[in-house]
Chains A and B, each alone.
Chain A
Amino acid sequence: MERIGFFVCHCGSNIKATVDPDVVLDGVRGIAGVVVAEQYPYMCAKTGQNMIADAIRDNQLTGLVVAACSPRMHEATFRKVAEAAGLNPYMVEIANIREHVSWIHKDKEEGSQKAVALAKAAIAKVKLNAPLFPEENSVVKRALVIGGGIAGIQAALDIAEAGFEVDLVEATPSIGGKMAQLDKTFPTLDCSACILTPKMVDAASHDKINIMTYAEVEKVEGFVGNFTVTVRKKARSVCMEKCTGCGDCWNKCPVKNVPLEFDLGLQNRKAIYIPFAQALPLVPVIDREHCIMFKSGKCGLCKTVCQPGAIQFDEVDELVEQKYGAVITATGFETINLDKFGEFAYNDSKDVITSFEFERITHGAGPTGGELVRLSDGRKPKSITFIQCVGSRDVTGRGKPYCSKICCMYTAKHAVLIKDKYPDIDVNVFYIDMRTPGKAYDEFYRRGAEEYGVKYIKGQVGKVVDKGTHLELSAVDMLDNVQLDLKTDMVVLATAIQPTASAKPLASKLSASIDTNNFMTEAHVKLRPVESPTAGVYLAGAGQGPKDIPETVGQAGAAAAKVIGLLSKKVLLSNPCTAAVDPKACNGCSLCSPVCPYGAISYGPMEINDHGFKTLERVSHVNLALCQGCGACVVVCPSGAMDLQGFSNKQLLAEVDALC
């Protein structure tokens, strides 16, 4: 006979205000098997936990139901309490009477009755629970970091420093990411390269870090602690070992008109190239789409001049398979396409640029050598106008609904940098709201406005027209409520940022989830912000949500700490809520295998003993290390031979019966 303990939490007044604990207790007291029914203001507090533990020991409870907050909050807590008191942790069920009752229903009578119904369902289920025991799995002591920007570099360094091997995979020819493209960083205005490149060198020279640039994740199999990942190393056409980075090849290359991605197309590159001078590894790549040798078979100039003989035209993509215990995604961001924002004349005028293009123009190694000039005529602008929220906080459906977060501060930075170097240039900033939370951020922005004379105008720009010698703006000053018609020499658009295009396919390979904007989803917004809901997959950088450099570095370190914690474990305990076959009921019809997303189901002969009559039969078998417990196979199994532990047919039907 079951001996069930039932506990109602008040959650202070969170539950008690709209659910009467006495009514709930009265509702369950008569149920067969319920031997303890108690209440306490905070079941999750130490005293509440002790109350449960004592009840388990004193009454030899066989099952525990806590009517409290969502199981997503404290199921783990109460399972631990049960386990410490000698009850299998999977003999615990939670009736969610806070998120699903007290917080949504105002009427106390209705709320209390619903709480009773949910409590009864949980009791009906717990009576059918069976003790479950996790499997132990080994942990591969190696981590994969996907994305070689500052997030990936920081995470790789932190993990490597803890003594674990790290592979850092980067899609472009060099690590460095977006930060390498930046001129200065806010709020200190120190040079981006000065603080980034030493970290790049640290990563490249670390004996525990293996960097794979010009490479992409092709396939991911396995599960936490035991991922098997195939990385495609694209053919670089240059031997990494032989190349010295001397530059003879790219100096001689006759193809001169390929837009340089690193400079956002503002400067051209050769067909064999390094993206920027401090690239790591300092080994060029042959862009096969533009290389004459690959297009027509005639040229080979680079091979002729290469003294170490590093050029290898016949190189092919290499697939590298490696096992990892954990994966960090740090795929970063890109700016959105502005085709739908015709009013800003971005596609029509060379003098309307994005903030990232502005960043390259002011960069000493950029297309203008750091000279702030108009791209149309090379003239120094007399006035520059910044427009904020281009495609961010967009309600028209053309852009993104969210705040891109970094734009207010980088525009404040740009404005101050201009004013500092060229005090004669007029700087106007059109903004919707200034958002400058962060240490020393608001002070920085105010200094621009108050000390440097940057003119901030609350309002939106309706139209930009290129008049050749200058640009004309129609805008509204919302504070003075006047229409403004301005002339300016240059317009800089604070363009919304979005996750890189690679984020979505990568998420599906990792079985990690992404949100409607393709940002990686965290396991819990507040409490598990650097973990993906998929065990063993962690998140760093702007691929998880817009964020600036300090936040990115902080998150990368946090993700690395999680990975170090995981890799330090001797064994991992798996979720025991997996599918299980009753071989006596399975007829091997093979309906279940096609629906398993993990390839966890196979078929093989098994000796079946049916009342002493032994036969060898083909039956289904579930690999517990691979099964994640979704239940797809259980529903396709017509006979009920396949069942899901923790969510069995009987348990769920019992819940239905209890509610109906």
Chain B
Amino acid sequence: MLDENKTFEPLIVAFCCNWCSYAGADLAGTSRLSYPPNVKIIKVPCSCRVDPIFVLRAFGKGADGVIVCGCHPGDCHYSTGNYFTRRRFTLMFNLMDYLGIERDRMRLEWVSAAEATKFARVMNEFTETITNLGPNRQIVDLRNLPEGYEDLEREPHREILPPATDKSRDIPSVAKIEEQMKLRATKLLADGVVDRVLAWKKGDHETMPEPAFFDHPGQIEDLVYNKYCAPNLSKYLMNAPWLGGKLFDGSTLVFLKPCDSYSFNQLIKENLVNTDKVHIIGIGCGGTVQVEELEDAGMWEKCQVCTKVSHPVGDEIIDLSDDSPRLEKDARFELVEAIEALEAPDRFAYWQSQLSKCIRCNACRNTCPVCNCKRCVFSSDKMDMASKVNANEFEEQLFHIVRAYHVAGRCSDCGECSRVCPQDIPVHLLNRKFIKDINEFYGEYQAGENIEAPEPLTSYDLNNDGQIDINKGVRT
């Protein structure tokens, strides 16, 4: 092993901000301070220009270490750029750690234009660290099934995570809610207050209700509301033409469960729904259940740990479920903690076993309320990635990581991504890791709760953020 390391010459990519670190590297040259030639510098105008995608790409293409260098906080040439860099990479590095990828392979350092000595020292240290770590194989391997973990493929949840306990709380009032929904829908349609109703209708089987539009009172008898009505309706209301919003002339009545209303409120925040054209009725929910072979198979994990009982947005409320049991404590992060508690190789194997099942059907992306881009980066030629078709394996490795990063700070934890996954990949546990870290590092934040609140990744708090060790991912 040691002998192998001696001949191993790592490839290290350094993203350096033009104003500080790149100039610091120049000064290291001018001062003839040496550091290993393994380090190759890419100039960026500001550390905030470094997209975590670039870092992933470098790893995916064979880099053994990636370092991002920027101005010291407070010294950004653009005043605030590095404050965003700091939050982005703190969270991103933590996610990589959560995926079981050695976090020592990535680093963020503040190097001023004057700190030539520091630049050379950091590069010497980093090269030594990477040399000792050996070649990077992990990210490239993330989507391949790990050896010795074949049995994980079938029942990965059961093996690694605590067994799901059915905390199903089938509330008797759901039938009454459905009754009132029908009454209100019929009346609002008949009175011409709304032009259509968005709700669920009977599917092929009673366990398969599906989202549907109702255009006149006569159709309302098909409206159903029961414990199988899991699909989040909020995204159907986007007035975005690229998602069919152009069809929405007139006004729409929509029924939103508590979790759906958080998603909807987030869409209001992102200016993607026209609230003038929507009449919202918040409805009570007692949790939804998953179905296997037309039989109840226990409550969805997302519902078991759901603490959302109120509606942050709504014109009316129909909630008769006050008698239903509510979770007293937020147990959302138990699974995240269970994964965090694993040793790094096991974490890696776990995620490898999960992500290797992905068939890139895009169901998670299509159902996610905040995956609302007109053109996804995975459909955009701008990022050299192709849509749907798997242009190359590398793209595959990035998809879930990039998607989790793109919804970080915006995800309301509705859990739809995992619910719709035909391969049972617990995608939402990536999003929830971000939520957990955001809460811990930057204060409790619930996307969709308050549309005025600044989002964690587009804001900063100087007193707080400096206390977090970016490279270790802990509060100092």
- A residues adjacent to B (C-beta < 8 A): 70-72, 96, 98-101, 103-107, 110-111, 113-114, 117-118, 121, 508, 511, 513-516, 521, 533-534, 577, 582, 584-591, 594-595, 597-598, 603, 608, 610, 613, 615, 617-618, 628-632, 634-636, 638-641, 643-644, 647-650, 652-653, 655-657, 659-660
Contact = CB atoms under 8 A, between A and B. Distances in A.
Contacts of A582: 382
Nearest to B41: A100
B404 to A, nearest CB: 11
Given A104-B33, A615-B246, A653-B383, A636 B26 contact: no
User: Among A585, A587, A650, which residue has the most Cβ atoms of chain B within 10 A?
Assistant: A587
B6 to A, nearest CB: 16
Interface string B424-460: 0000000000000000000000000000001101110
B377 A640 contact: yes
A630 B374 contact: no
A659 B44 contact: no
Interface of B: 11, 13, 19, 22-23, 25-30, 32-35, 37, 40-46, 48-54, 57-58, 61-63, 71, 74-75, 77-81, 84, 88, 112-114, 120, 240-242, 246, 269-272, 372-377, 380, 382-384, 406-407, 454-455, 457-459
Contacts of B375: 584-585, 639-641
User: Which 7 pairs, one residue from A and one from B, show the smallest C-beta to C-beta distance?
Assistant: A99-B29, A631-B49, A639-B373, A660-B61, A630-B78, A103-B29, A638-B406
Contacts of A101: 37
A610 B26 CA distance: 47
B5 to A, nearest CB: 18
B397 to A, nearest CB: 14
User: Among A513, A577, A656, which residue has the most Cβ atoms of chain B within 10 A?
Assistant: A656
18 contacts: A72-B23, A72-B26, A96-B43, A99-B25, A118-B40, A582-B382, A587-B372, A589-B373, A598-B78, A610-B242, A615-B241, A630-B45, A635-B51, A635-B84, A639-B377, A641-B373, A656-B54, A660-B61
A113 B271 CA distance: 51
Contacts of B62: 660
Contacts of B81: 597, 630-632
B78 A104 contact: no
Contacts of B271: 588-590, 603, 618
B384 A650 contact: yes
Contact of A631 (B37, B44, B458): B44
A636 B84 contact: yes
Contact of A513 (B19, B54, B459): B19
A636 B458 contact: yes
Contacts of A647: 44-45, 49
B32 A577 contact: no
Contact of B45 (A521, A577, A598, A617): A577
Contacts of A514: 75
Nearest to A103: B29
B84 A587 contact: no
Contacts of B27: 99
B373 A533 contact: no
B34 A105 contact: yes
Nearest to A111: B37
Nearest to B460: A595
Contact of A104 (B19, B29, B112, B374): B29
B45 A631 contact: yes
Given A99-B30, A514-B75, 17 more contacts: A103-B30, A111-B37, A118-B40, A118-B41, A511-B77, A513-B75, A533-B19, A587-B373, A594-B455, A610-B241, A618-B271, A634-B49, A638-B373, A638-B407, A647-B49, A656-B57, A660-B61
A587 B79 contact: no
Contacts of A628: 78
Contacts of A586: 374
A104 B373 contact: no
A659 B80 contact: no
A114 B37 contact: yes
B65 to A, nearest CB: 11
B78 to A, nearest CB: 4
A652 B54 contact: yes
A656 B374 contact: no
A656 B48 contact: no
B113 A656 contact: no
Contacts of A641: 373-375
A516 B24 CA distance: 14
Contact of B44 (A117, A513, A636, A652): A652
Nearest to B120: A104
Contacts of A516: 112, 114
Nearest to B57: A656
A100 B54 contact: no
Contacts of B272: 587-589
B28 A104 contact: yes
A304 B452 CA distance: 54
B17 to A, nearest CB: 9
A629 B11 contact: no
Nearest to B402: A638
A104 B42 contact: no
Contacts of A640: 375, 377, 380, 382-383
A595 B84 contact: yes
A98 B29 contact: yes
Nearest to B38: A114
B37 A110 contact: yes
A461 to B, nearest CB: 31
Contact of B48 (A114, A511, A534, A632): A632
Contacts of A508: 74, 79
A636 B455 CA distance: 11
B42 A635 contact: no
Nearest to A657: B61
Contacts of B57: 653, 656-657, 660
A585 B373 contact: yes
B137 to A, nearest CB: 14
Given A585-B374, A630-B81, A655-B42, A103 B32 contact: yes
Contacts of B113: 521
Contacts of A111: 37
Contact of A117 (B32, B40, B75, B384): B40
Contact of B270 (A99, A513, A577, A591): A591
A434 to B, nearest CB: 27
A585 B274 CA distance: 19
A595 B19 contact: no
A386 B60 CA distance: 65
Nearest to A515: B114
Contacts of B23: 72
A636 B374 CA distance: 15
A113 B372 CA distance: 44
A584 B374 CA distance: 8
Contacts of A635: 48-52, 84, 88
B391 to A, nearest CB: 13
Given A513-B75, A630-B78, A595 B458 contact: yes
Contacts of B63: 656, 659-660
Nearest to A72: B26
B34 A631 contact: no
Contact of B13 (A106, A110, A636, A659): A659
A650 B454 CA distance: 30
Nearest to B240: A587
A648 B380 CA distance: 14
B45 A653 contact: no
Contacts of B42: 121, 652, 655-656, 659
Contacts of A631: 44-46, 48-49, 81
B45 A639 contact: no
A103 B383 CA distance: 35
Nearest to A652: B54
A435 B43 CA distance: 40
A594 B45 contact: no
B37 A113 contact: yes
A30 to B, nearest CB: 20
A402 to B, nearest CB: 12
